[in-house]
């Protein structure tokens, strides 16, 4: 009975959470899981939902909720650049550390960031793994667009 009441409280709290890009935390997690099915199949030993998707979505929402606008914009820009530059690990690492500095005044959010990107393994290893996953994802999307050229055309015109 107590867990039901705790669960009810959690779902009430979740329903009051802000949205990111028009989605709730749960919606973004579900969408990320669907979009990542191909990657999960290629890396079956990795718990993408528990180890990657949920913590990353939670970090995204908490940054939006707790971090000031200027630091949010800088953080988002630096992380986007880091993700584009994983082929250059030294540059990607520098961008990651700069992004981290945007969160230094927010200890709870900084702790989440560290847990995802810093604490579990050396940063160069994390960037290498991230590059491998992103490269695999890009290749899968490319192959799918070659198999379904009408989807590629529709995407290109949007």
Model confidence over 12-22: pLDDT tens digits?
444 455 556 56
DSSP letter string, the chain: -HHHHHHHHHHHHHHTS--BTTB-HHHHHHHHHHHTHHHHHHSTTS-IIIIIIHHHHHHHHHHHHHS-HHHHHHHHHHHHHHHHTTTSHHHHHHHHHHHHHTTTT-HHHHHHHHHHHTSSS-HHHHHHHHHHHHHHHHHHHHHHHHH-HHHHHHHHH-
The pLDDT of residue 150 is 58
The pLDDT of residue 156 is 47
| Residue range 31-38: mean pLDDT, rounded | 77
**Average model confidence (pLDDT) for the chain?**
80
pTM: 0.70
What is the pLDDT confidence band of residue 134, given thresholds at 50, 70 and 90? confident
pLDDT tens profile 51-70: 888 999 899 999 999 999 99
pLDDT tens profile 86-127: 999 999 999 999 999 999 999 999 999 999 999 888 999 999
The pLDDT of residue 65 is 94
The pLDDT of residue 46 is 76
């Amino acid at each position: 009975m107590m867990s039901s009441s705790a669960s009810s409280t959690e779902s009430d709290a979740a329903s009051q959470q802000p949205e990111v890009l028009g989605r709730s935390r749960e919606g973004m997690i579900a969408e990320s899981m669907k979009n990542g099915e191909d990657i999960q199949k290629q890396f079956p030993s990795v718990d993408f939902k528990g180890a990657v998707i949920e913590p990353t979505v939670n970090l995204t929402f908490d940054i939006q909720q707790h971090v000031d606008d200027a630091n949010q914009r800088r953080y988002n820009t630096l992380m986007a650049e880091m993700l584009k530059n994983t082929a250059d690990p030294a540059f990607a690492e520098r961008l990651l550390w700069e992004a981290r500095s945007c969160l230094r005044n927010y200890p709870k959010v900084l702790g989440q960031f560290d847990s995802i990107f810093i604490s579990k393994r050396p940063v160069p290893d994390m960037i290498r793994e991230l590059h491998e996953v992103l490269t695999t994802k890009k290749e899968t999307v490319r192959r799918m667009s070659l198999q379904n050229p009408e989807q590629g055309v529709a995407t290109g015109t949007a």
